[in-house]
């Protein structure tokens, strides 16, 4: 009976069902790095968009308090998305060097975030070019988080799952 329990425990540990506090800590570190990277990228996108697309006659330019709230909410969503992506990415890649897994994670998160923005903008009557820009930004956001997280893993700041 003891041998069976030992075998079951080994199977569970090899499947990753018993996450240790060390693994959870590594996930939190990865998530924190992803959140910071996403926040920085979102801030960069915001600066570029405000300089490029926000005209003085834009409804948001005429109501700066709405713009501030919109940016705060969008920034918080981007930071949370970066956190969740980084944690998920760490579990997806493990010790595998499969480029398709890495690219697929970026595509999945980029499409979910970007298509949600595209849908909302389309229903609100926003022009197609800014919508496509937001979709592209979502891919760039998660690709940037991936690059930073890959660097952190290569520097042993975060351990693979």
Residue 120, phi then psi, degrees to nearest 5: -65, -45
What is the domain partition of the chain in residue ranges? 21-154
| Residue 97, SS3 per DSSP | coil
What pLDDT, in 10s, does the model give residues 79-114? Answer: 999 999 999 999 888 777 788 888 899 999 999 999
56 pLDDT exceeds 70?
Answer: no
Residue 6: enclosing H or E segment and its boundaries?
helix 2-15
**How far is 33 from 87, CA to CA, in rounded Å?**
10
Angstrom CA distances, 143 to 41, 72, 73, 140, 150, stand at: 10, 22, 21, 5, 10
pLDDT at 112 (0 to 100): 94
- 107-129 pLDDT, tens digit per residue, is 999 999 999 988 888 888 888 88
CB 110 within 8 A of CB 57: no
pLDDT at 8: 47
């Amino acid at each position: 009976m003891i041998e069976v329990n030992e075998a079951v425990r080994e199977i569970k540990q090899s499947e990753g069902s018993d996450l240790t506090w060390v693994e959870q800590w590594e996930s939190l570190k990865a998530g924190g790095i992803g959140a910071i990277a996403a926040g920085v990228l979102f801030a960069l996108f915001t600066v570029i968009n405000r300089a490029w697309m926000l005209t003085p006659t834009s409804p948001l330019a005429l109501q700066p308090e709405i713009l501030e709230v919109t940016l705060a909410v969008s920034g918080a969503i981007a930071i949370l998305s970066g956190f969740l992506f980084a944690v998920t990415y760490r579990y997806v890649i493990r010790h595998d060097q499969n480029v398709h897994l890495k690219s697929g994670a970026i595509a999945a998160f980029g499409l979910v975030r970007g298509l949600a923005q595209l849908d909302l903008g389309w229903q609100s009557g926003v022009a197609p070019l800014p919508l496509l820009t937001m979709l592209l930004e979502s891919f760039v956001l998660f690709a940037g988080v991936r690059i930073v997280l890959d660097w952190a893993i290569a520097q042993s700041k975060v351990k693979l799952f």
